[in-house]
């Protein structure tokens, strides 16, 4: 059998690892990438209690929410509202095949559908004391802490690119943290936009972290 084809990240060509620091210091905007997070699209009828129950059970008790533009965040899974009958499951890199199979088996009898969309997007993290200022240069969403709270998510445009935006901090730390799920083909452009937007505040590249390892910043 041939060796496995090496998996390339959407931003690997930028050599971010070589620039990455654990100490962003005085930089106002901290950028990072979380490569290969499992992403699974879930659709089904929220009025169907059996579907909702089956989905929640297959997702370790993480229940799909019907509250628009919010996410349910658990230790191993983020479940983002995308529409009245649509959610995005985000989980640890490498877990997509097993998780999608488990979820599909659970919801299919109740009219639910599951699509593994892991490869469609990568995840850029934007953190630091000036993260909001950098994002505000290209995003129509009001990111004020009172309006866009921990666990809130939104689909919108950032610098004319469609993004799924999540407030990923819990407001206990000193700085906000956002995760942007962006189509791979737009990731290079969006990264460069963010570096440019953050330039006046100082940009630090922070080490890419895997969800399973956790992080001090998170």
Give the whole-angstrom CA distance, residue 131 versus residue 174.
12
Closest CB 197 distance from another protein, rounded Å: 18
Out of 61, 111, 162, 173, name the contact with another protein by CB under 8 A.
Answer: 162
Out of 48, 53, 156, 215, name the contact with another protein by CB under 8 A.
Answer: 156
182 lines the binding site for another protein (CB under 8 A): no
Contact in structure between 127 and 206 (CB atoms under 8 Å): yes
63 lines the binding site for another protein (CB under 8 A): no
Out of 14, 74, 82, 104, name the contact with another protein by CB under 8 A.
Answer: 82
Out of 42, 88, 154, 206, name the contact with another protein by CB under 8 A.
Answer: 154
Contact in structure between 145 and 138 (CB atoms under 8 Å): no
155 lines the binding site for another protein (CB under 8 A): yes
Strands 77-83 and 86-91: antiparallel
Contact in structure between 40 and 94 (CB atoms under 8 Å): no
144 lines the binding site for another protein (CB under 8 A): no
**Six token digits for residue 14:** 């930028």
61/162 with CB nearer another protein = 162
61/84 with CB nearer another protein = 84
41 lines the binding site for another protein (CB under 8 A): no
157 lines the binding site for another protein (CB under 8 A): yes
DSSP string over 118-156? GGGEEEEEEESTTHHHHHHTT--S---TTTS-TTBEEEE
Between the alpha carbon of residue 71 and those of residues 7, 64, 78, 92, 193, the distances in Å are 28, 8, 7, 16, 26
Closest CB 141 distance from another protein, rounded Å: 8
69 lines the binding site for another protein (CB under 8 A): yes
Q: Which residues are at the interface with another protein (CB under 8 A)? A: 68-69, 82-84, 86, 140-141, 154-157, 162
């Amino acid at each position: 059998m041939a060796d496995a084809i090496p998996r390339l990240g959407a931003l690997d060509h930028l050599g971010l690892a070589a620039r990455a620091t654990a100490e962003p210091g005085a930089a106002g905007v901290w950028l990072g990438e979380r490569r290969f997070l499992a992403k699974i699209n879930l659709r089904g009828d929220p009025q169907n209690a059996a579907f909702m129950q089956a989905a929640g059970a297959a997702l370790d008790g993480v229940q799909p929410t019907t509250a628009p533009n919010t996410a349910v965040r658990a230790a191993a899974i983020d479940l983002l509202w995308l529409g009245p009958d649509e959610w995005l499951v985000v989980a640890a890199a490498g877990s997509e095949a097993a998780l999608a199979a488990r979820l599909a088996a659970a919801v299919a009898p109740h009219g639910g559908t599951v699509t593994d969309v892991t490869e469609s997007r990568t995840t850029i993290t934007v953190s630091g004391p000036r993260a909001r200022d950098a994002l505000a240069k290209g995003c129509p969403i009001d990111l004020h802490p009172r309006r866009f709270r921990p666990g809130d998510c939104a689909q919108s445009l950032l610098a004319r690119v469609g993004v799924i935006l999540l407030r990923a901090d819990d407001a206990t730390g000193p700085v906000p943290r956002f995760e942007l799920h962006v189509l791979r083909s737009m990731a290079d452009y969006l990264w460069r936009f963010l570096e440019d937007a953050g330039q006046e505040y100082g940009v630090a590249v922070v080490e890419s972290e895997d969800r399973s390892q956790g992080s001090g910043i998170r």
